[in-house]
Structure 1
């Protein structure tokens, strides 16, 4: 006949003192208190499952009282009676807890921000900023706090259709491409098992892509009117000067707004734009015609900033804002369907190609024209050669175009 263990009392447990070696105080039914050599007291429950003897920790005394330990003992007995191993169930519960914690951490926002930071080294600073803005404006309002592996195709379709309903077709396509990049990153780093964007037929949702061209003007009388409007602009001085320089250099809006004095070599008459500011992620040397050098020298005499050539009128420590040049063009009477800052590039390209083979033209090739636009040559070897060999032809073409604009302005 098995010996019956007398149940423990709270007084007995409280009075238990440490000994040279750890010892056990039994309560019956497999429950015991282990008293360590340092005086710590920890509850354990012994049990048998599938013929094997096991034990499971129930917590430390006095945080787990005698009464609480006995309640846990009964719960364990019920689990065993139902064919559940308490130790394995605890492990499974911890695993589920870790998965739940991972889901809370691996939200679409957190993973997309990791991707965005990683992607920074692949693109220009301006484009990186635009990607962050697109996430914030078009994607986060819908799925920001969702675990990325719980974002569904219907969630993505809802984002794209909302943009489509606002007739932002190109924005919707770019948003789909952005989502695809984020999900590729998430799959690569095992935050989610599948890229759901690959299962969505974007064309079916948004319709056939219509190629968009930036508006521009190429007729001489219209160019003359534009240059006159810039000369007569009565707004902020640095905005006006940026608009005066832009027709001659026709760079992207970001580049003209973020032009820095350290990038200008007045002696060599060159503008060296660093790689992180370029869409191609390679530095770009643009020869400057004498008209631009003269304008920059004037700006330098009136400069309020040691860094930016065209500082913001709100703070000389910041460049012109994103909408400054656009707003100036609107004040001058040009709608978004008529002319935007990017239109200066299209104007140069159209005129340069038109005069490439004319008798009174410039005689420079298409490669030189594209080099002036900082368009990247797809052939890496040829691109390296072009960067080295087109510098002087670029200088010649840049000066020809500046003289052409002055000729139009003064009707020569």
Structure 2
């Protein structure tokens, strides 16, 4: 006999749970507390089992019967509905745990443990914030269209380079998700070429010897923080990347051998880099050592000696000296050195490239060059610093012989 709504409404709690039977294994369990629970009794693998189908009145009699019929269809297909439910619940729990945000944080922690620079992981966390629209979505369920919509929001705001870098970061996270079996595909890969490419902006730099001399004299007259002035003085002599300069540590400086050894974790190409120090560079470092030598960083932050100088310090100092963004940047010291050293005709292109720590696509060739050009690089560092001294003094400009192909 089928269960009716009248019978359900008439059911009263008793001291012990009791059943109100419907059809095909469905029954309503009446609890002593007054709760009404839908249950399905069935057999699978030779055993009697029960499946929860909801509570009354949230699940009506007709809804409970529909759920019963769906479960019986699974049984007809030799599928245990209870086991199928547990599998689905496990998959849903896994999807919730493996959101894009959680996988991205795991990826960021991984690269941090691998020794990536603090600036790299800081940017990665910033990228993750910008990707918040997909942050709580299961990483395996994100489609290329969904990711593209998030990237297009940045593009619509004119942040073309940011959109490109976000796609690249997302691609790395999805690649990690695939490698760790949390996703089966990388939805960022099909989006190559889908975003507007930003115009390449060359970093401004002073390339004329006479104007380089003027810049060096302006640095000598700088009246800001002593550590900032020291960093400005050293930058032209070592022409490392701004991030490498401001993260310099005293433990990396070997005064006896006149060399600065930058660990791989701080280098863009993830290879350790040795910088020969001219006598002028050593003198500058000795001067700043009296100010910051007891701390970790050669050029610490003015707010805390436990942190390096801000990434905007050098650029801000150049602006205060009157050099606009279209004239000179902190990165421009590298371009200045690269251009004038090449135009001097005195040094091999390979030695200059090694001094700039540029990546060599040929790994065997790169490994050879690291050792083969050291002597030339030491001599080049000395010559370059002497040349800068002459330019700063405003003396006779050394004629540079332009190399022709």
Same fold (TM over 0.5): yes
Partners of 2:336 and 2:66 lie apart in 1 by: 83
1:198-213 → structure 2 map (5 Å cutoff): 198-202=189-193, 204-207=194-197, 210-213=199-202
Q: Is the 8 A contact 2:279 2:382 kept in 1?
A: yes
Q: Is the 8 A contact 1:123 1:280 kept in 2?
A: no
Distance 1:126-1:378 versus aligned 2 partners, 3 A rule: farther
Q: Secondary structure at the match of 1:312?
A: coil
Match of 1:62 in 2: none
**Residue-pair matches, total:** 365
Q: Is the 8 A contact 2:40 2:68 kept in 1?
A: no
Partners of 1:142 and 1:227 lie apart in 2 by: 48
Distance 1:355-1:121 versus aligned 2 partners, 3 A rule: farther
For structure 1, the 5+ residue unaligned runs are 1-8, 15-24, 32-43, 60-66, 357-362
Q: Is the 8 A contact 1:122 1:281 kept in 2?
A: no
Match of 2:266 in 1: 277
Q: Secondary structure at the match of 1:55?
A: strand
Match of 1:219 in 2: 208
1:231-380 → structure 2 map (5 Å cutoff): 231-303=220-292, 305-356=294-345, 363-380=346-363
Distance 1:119-1:306 versus aligned 2 partners, 3 A rule: closer
Distance 1:26-1:219 versus aligned 2 partners, 3 A rule: closer
Partners of 2:366 and 2:169 lie apart in 1 by: 28
Match of 2:400 in 1: none
Q: Per-residue deviation at 1:58? A: 7.2
Match of 1:17 in 2: none
Q: Per-residue deviation at 1:119? A: 3.5
Match of 2:151 in 1: 160
**RMSD of aligned C-alpha atoms?**
3.6
Candidates 122, 129, 132, aligned match of 2:124? 132
Distance 1:103-1:221 versus aligned 2 partners, 3 A rule: same
Match of 1:109 in 2: 101
Candidates 168, 172, 185, aligned match of 2:163? 172
Match of 1:197 in 2: 188
Q: Secondary structure at the match of 1:335?
A: coil
Q: Is the 8 A contact 1:227 1:409 kept in 2?
A: yes
Partners of 1:121 and 1:82 lie apart in 2 by: 48
Distance 1:255-1:236 versus aligned 2 partners, 3 A rule: same
Q: Per-residue deviation at 1:141? A: 3.3
For structure 2, the 5+ residue unaligned runs are 1-12, 28-38, 396-405
Q: Per-residue deviation at 1:122? A: 6.5
TM-score (norm 1): 0.77
Larger Rg: 1
Q: Secondary structure at the match of 1:364?
A: coil
Which region of structure 1 is more displaced relative to structure 2, 402-411 or 377-386? 377-386
Partners of 1:28 and 1:108 lie apart in 2 by: 46
Match of 2:47 in 1: 54
1:399 aligns with 2:382: yes
Q: Is the 8 A contact 1:245 1:292 kept in 2?
A: yes
Match of 1:36 in 2: none
Q: Secondary structure at the match of 2:202?
A: coil
Match of 2:36 in 1: none
Distance 1:96-1:311 versus aligned 2 partners, 3 A rule: same
Partners of 1:264 and 1:317 lie apart in 2 by: 18
Match of 2:175 in 1: 184
Q: Is the 8 A contact 1:163 1:169 kept in 2?
A: yes
